């Protein structure tokens, strides 16, 4: 049984709830509190979704944070059996500091379709949009990939913008990008938002490169599949202990993963709602009577993506939800 075609809009309500819960903590310097509020809201709303969901990629495994844990069953228990990947707050530091592009994220695929990262926390990634899909290779020199992206988009290499996490582990790739003449946008946190931007039109981002989170890579693959882009990745342990655990779990560190391996079914759903104001999704705006949210919803089977602005009234929300959005946390 495949997931119902309307599941995407149900998932939209889940990420909206998480964003509304977390947004009360924007700029307060308390990322665990914001994350906890998002987790509680997401778990509550997931219980209303008509699916037999199992969390394959949970939240908080790298930090000591509230969790929607791996193996947790979510949804009503009825409907299609699904794999679920969640990140109630992607960019908890961004949330705590009030910086752009913190988002609430969920992805759903038929049961067994999502690749399980197990003990692998880090992955070297290459993400591009539809124009450059099929024209890049994680194993190729950075310069070659830049030239392929530029040619596909009808621009010069000097006009190509690549997003990377500003980490010591990415210094070599940053150096290669600068030597080739590309533009670089360094970010402090958040893997999924820039990958979405690379696959969406008119965002000013052409590619994502460098080592980031493996769980976020699987979530990204679900979105990229629906947007017609391409993602490649390879596990990149960042400590001897992680390397040992990954090898003991039977993972091949030399294998190049495609987005079709990271999610092996063409019928996936993805939803993201902005928490803080960002480059492509507006953040939560509170008013005396309610709030507004901006979200992205993607279904890979149809290749449909929607940008949705929602207006929420406290009076209505209080009648259908146990989440005290309108009260100070």
Q: Which residues are annotated as a binding site for Mn(2+)?
A: 35, 59, 87, 90, 216
The torsion angles phi and psi of 74, rounded to 5 degrees, stand at -130, 165
The torsion angles phi and psi of 239, rounded to 5 degrees, stand at -155, 160
CB 52 within 8 Å of CB 81: yes
Three-class DSSP category at 1: coil
Q: How many CB atoms lie within 10 A of CB 14?
A: 28
Annotated binding site: 35, 59, 87, 90-92, 122, 167-169, 189-191, 213, 216
Q: What tokens appear for 159 in the block?
A: 């006009």
d(C-alpha 138, C-alpha 260), whole Å = 15
**Triad 21, 23, 24: Cα angle to 5°:** 80
Annotated binding site for substrate: 90-92, 122, 167-169, 189-191, 213
Mark out the alpha helices in the chain (DSSP H runs).
7-23, 31-46, 92-97, 142-153, 171-180, 192-199, 214-227, 240-248, 259-262, 314-320
Strand-pairing partners, residue 264, are: none
> Which is nearest to 253 in space by CA: 267, 234, 270, 233?
234
d(C-alpha 166, C-alpha 168), whole Å = 7
Considering Cα of 156, then 161, then 166, then 169, what sign does the dihedral take? negative
Q: What tokens appear for 292 in the block?
A: 């507004």
The number of CA neighbours under 13 Å toward the Cβ of 145 is: 27
Q: What tokens appear for 136 in the block?
A: 């890049």
């Amino acid at each position: 049984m495949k997931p119902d075609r309307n599941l995407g809009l149900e998932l939209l309500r889940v990420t909206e709830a998480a964003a509304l819960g977390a947004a009360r903590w924007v700029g307060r310097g308390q990322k665990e509190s914001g994350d906890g509020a998002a987790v509680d809201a997401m778990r509550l709303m997931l219980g209303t979704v008509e699916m037999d969901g199992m969390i394959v990629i949970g939240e908080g495994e790298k930090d000591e944070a509230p969790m929607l844990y791996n193996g947790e069953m979510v949804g009503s228990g009825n409907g299609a059996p699904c794999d679920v990947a969640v990140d109630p707050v992607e960019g908890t530091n961004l949330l705590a500091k009030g910086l752009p592009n913190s988002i609430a994220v969920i992805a759903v695929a038929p049961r067994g379709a999502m690749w399980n990262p197990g003990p692998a926390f880090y992955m070297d990634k290459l993400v591009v949009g539809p124009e450059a899909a099929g024209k890049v290779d994680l194993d190729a020199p950075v310069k070659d990939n830049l030239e392929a992206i530029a040619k596909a988009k009808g621009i010069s290499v000097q006009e190509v913008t690549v997003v990377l996490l500003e980490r010591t582990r990415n210094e070599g790739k940053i150096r290669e990008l600068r030597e080739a003449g590309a533009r670089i946008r360094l970010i402090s946190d958040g893997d999924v938002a820039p990958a979405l931007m690379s696959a969406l039109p008119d965002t000013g981002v052409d590619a994502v490169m460098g080592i980031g989170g493996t769980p976020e890579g699987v979530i990204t693959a679900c979105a990229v599949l629906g947007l017609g882009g391409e993602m490649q990745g390879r596990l990149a342990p960042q400590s001897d202990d992680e390397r040992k655990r990954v090898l003991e779990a039977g993972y091949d560190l030399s294998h190049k993963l495609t987005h079709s391996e990271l999610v092996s079914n063409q019928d996936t759903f993805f939803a993201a709602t902005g928490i803080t104001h960002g480059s492509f999704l507006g953040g939560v705006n509170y008013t005396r009577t309610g709030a507004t949210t901006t979200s992205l919803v993607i279904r890979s089977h149809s290749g449909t993506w929607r940008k949705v602005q929602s207006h929420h009234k406290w009076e209505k929300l209080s009648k259908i939800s146990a989440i005290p959005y309108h009260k100070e946390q």
